[in-house]
């Protein structure tokens, strides 16, 4: 009989890509949702929906009942406050883990965390992801589970990185960090494949990055974004040509970035959370978001297939097709 994977967060950016990756690996799928979602990147085969939310223990038990794998993806990348992040990323992870241990203890459990959890002092988001890992471990009480810590993720459907593609077409690219900073990147397609592979992985914490586990410099990322955003649309001879050389980059002074972060904090309190706040600025200024091959999933199970330049180019083409990015 086909194995059953119970998935939270299936309607989000990453989750919507994970579902077809799981289906391709032969899994039958059951997802938790308040209502049946329209899955932009969903698999062709039907997906069973369990109505409910992470705050509903009965719905969680129904979700995982009979599952061979429980994959917790749901979470928040923005919130009004530390309590909001903890509610989404720690309370939610604990609730999913409790349903797993109480209802489907024989299932494999996979928690999607973040590389930010390495540095919980930087932001409320990072602290909440680290706390989510700790709570799952406490609930597991020694039962094996896998944690995935992806680095910066990009790909179709992601609105968080869309402003970077738009700004990449400006005459000057503004970057937050210095020459020494290293940032890992990974496409959502590779991350989705890593989640599907993690079900078979030994218990542990794994980082997820593309083949450049040592990371990229800010100038290199800016150049790749500019090339992707400036690519001439296929079949449009009069489309904008790709830039002949990378646009000049300008490092933003730390005090300016910190002021932007404080404005973001104020906006969150008054109008609701945005992507940029003091915590996100501290994350951006952190000099070492590199990884290493030994921190990745076993090579026999997974390896990244998509390099940065073609991955960003494919993402930009998707944005243009949706009308999110000007041709």
Residues 9-49 pLDDT 10s = 998 999 999 999 999 999 999 999 987 766 767 777 788 99
* Best CATH choice for the domain 4-158+184-214+289-307 from the list 3.40.50.720, 3.40.50.1000, 3.40.50.880, 3.10.129.10: 3.40.50.720
What is the domain partition of the chain in residue ranges?
Answer: 4-158+184-214+289-307
Prediction pTM value: 0.91
pLDDT of residue 242: 46
Cα 273 to Cα 262: distance, rounded to the nearest angstrom: 13
What confidence tens digit (pLDDT) does each residue in 191-201 have? 999 999 999 99
**Tens digit of each residue's pLDDT, the chain (327 residues):** 689 999 999 989 999 999 999 999 999 999 999 877 667 677 777 889 999 999 999 999 999 999 999 999 999 998 888 999 999 999 999 999 999 999 999 999 999 999 999 999 999 999 999 999 999 999 999 999 999 999 999 999 999 999 889 888 777 777 776 778 999 999 999 999 999 999 999 999 999 999 999 999 998 999 999 999 886 555 444 444 444 455 566 677 778 877 877 888 788 777 787 778 888 889 988 999 999 999 999 999 999 999 999 999 999 999 999 999 987
Percent of the chain with pLDDT over 90: 69
What is residue 246's predicted lDDT score, i.e. its pLDDT?
A: 57
């Amino acid at each position: 009989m086909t194995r059953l994977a119970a998935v939270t967060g299936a309607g989000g950016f990453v989750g919507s890509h994970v579902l077809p990756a799981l289906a391709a690996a032969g899994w039958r799928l059951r997802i938790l949702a308040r209502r049946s979602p329209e899955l932009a990147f969903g698999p062709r085969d039907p997906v069973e929906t369990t109505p409910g939310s992470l705050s509903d223990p009965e719905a969680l038990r129904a979700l995982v009942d009979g599952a061979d794998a429980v994959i917790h993806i749901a979470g928040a990348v923005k919130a009004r406050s530390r309590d909001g992040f903890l509610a989404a990323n720690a309370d939610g992870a604990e609730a999913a883990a409790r349903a797993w241990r109480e209802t489907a203890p024989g299932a494999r459990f996979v928690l999607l965390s973040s590389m930010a959890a390495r540095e919980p002092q930087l932001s409320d988001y990072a602290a909440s992801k680290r706390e989510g890992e700790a709570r799952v471990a406490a609930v597991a009480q020694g039962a094996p589970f896998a944690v995935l810590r992806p680095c910066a993720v990009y790909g179709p459907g992601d609105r968080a990185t869309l402003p970077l593609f738009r700004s990449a077409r400006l005459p000057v690219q503004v970057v937050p960090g210095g020459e020494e900073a290293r940032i890992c990147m990974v496409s959502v397609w590779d991350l989705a494949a890593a989640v599907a592979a993690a079900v078979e992985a030994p218990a542990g914490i794994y980082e997820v990055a593309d083949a450049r586990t040592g990371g990229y410099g800010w100038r290199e990322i800016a150049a790749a974004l500019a090339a992707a955003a400036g690519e001439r649309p296929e079949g449009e001879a009069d489309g904008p040509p790709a830039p002949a050389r990378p646009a000049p980059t300008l490092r933003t002074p730390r005090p300016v970035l910190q002021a932007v972060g404080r404005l973001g904090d104020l906006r969150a309190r008054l109008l609701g959370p945005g992507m940029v706040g003091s915590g996100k600025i501290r994350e951006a200024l952190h000099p070492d978001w590199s990884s290493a091959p030994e921190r990745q999933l076993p090579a026999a199970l997974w390896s990244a297939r998509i390099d940065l330049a073609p991955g960003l180019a494919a993402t930009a083409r998707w944005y243009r097709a949706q009308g999110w990015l000007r041709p």
